[in-house]
Chains A and B, each alone.
Chain A
Amino acid sequence: AQKITQTQPGMFVQEKEAVTLDCTYDTSDPSYGLFWYKQPSSGEMIFLIYQGSYDQQNATEGRYSLNFQKARKSANLVISASQLGDSAMYFCAMRELNTGTASKLTFGTGTRLQVTL
């Protein structure tokens, strides 16, 4: 069974600094995808970044990058140059891709990031 662990319930970062949000996962499926979503206080779920298990390079999307360490089963999100608008809940999620049909995303418990002046 797939499992996602986010061990940081809350994090603080100063504006313009970089921050790393931790995520570890467990799966027996060799083919899987890892996702990060942002949930601001308004409640919507915003897709940030995706990493496939067979991708050779770490994914990047603007100020977001994913530090993918396959042997350690970790997929940490790095946000560079933090902005006040980055304050939100961040969820790591995973799906196994060898299920042959619509496969569910399994979410971690989330990390609440607070960006300070």
Chain B
Amino acid sequence: EPEVTQTPSHQVTQMGQEVILRCVPISNHLYFYWYRQILGQKVEFLVSFYNNEISEKSEIFDDQFSVERPDGSNFTLKIRSTKLEDSAMYFCASERGQISPLHFGNGTRLTVT
């Protein structure tokens, strides 16, 4: 069964550094999302992406965050200048349509030191 793949599985970075989290959604999916989960807390929506543009973003998704679909297969989340509070598990998800279930990747655990 096709799956959403995320790389790396774990990223450690210093405060103030830029990080790029990568995702390869399922190939015939049209909608793409990033979520994050701070350790032990609920899963929070960051941004949705459809038709090569952002559909919706949350308050968390400020100017330090950006998303790109550079080549029709990858979907990236960039954090320009990481803060300690950005430490979390970041999940990419994709889906074919609005009533289909979101398929999540296995996540990237980001640790900012």
Q: Which of A33, A95, A104, A107 contacts B42 (CB 8 A)?
A: A107
Q: Which of A91, A102, A106, A109 contacts B50 (CB 8 A)?
A: A102
- Chain B's interface size range is 20 to 34
Question: A65-110: which have CB < 8 Å to B?
Answer: 91, 93, 95, 97, 99, 101-110
**Which residues of chain B are near A43, meaning CB under 8 Å?**
89, 106-107, 109
Q: Which of B31, B103, B105 contacts A102 (CB 8 A)?
A: B31
B99 A33 Cβ-Cβ under 8 A: yes
A97 B91 Cβ-Cβ under 8 A: no
**Which residues of chain A are near B45, meaning CB under 8 Å?**
104-106
Report which A residues bind B (CB closer than 8 A): 33, 35, 37, 42-47, 50, 52, 91, 93, 95, 97, 99, 101-110
Report which B residues bind A (CB closer than 8 A): 31-33, 35, 41-45, 48-50, 55-56, 58, 89, 91, 93, 98-99, 101-107, 109
Please, could you name 19 A-B residue pairs with CB atoms under 8 Å apart, sorted by A?
A33-B98, A35-B101, A42-B106, A43-B107, A44-B105, A47-B101, A50-B99, A52-B99, A97-B99, A101-B48, A101-B55, A102-B49, A102-B55, A102-B56, A103-B48, A104-B33, A105-B33, A105-B35, A107-B43
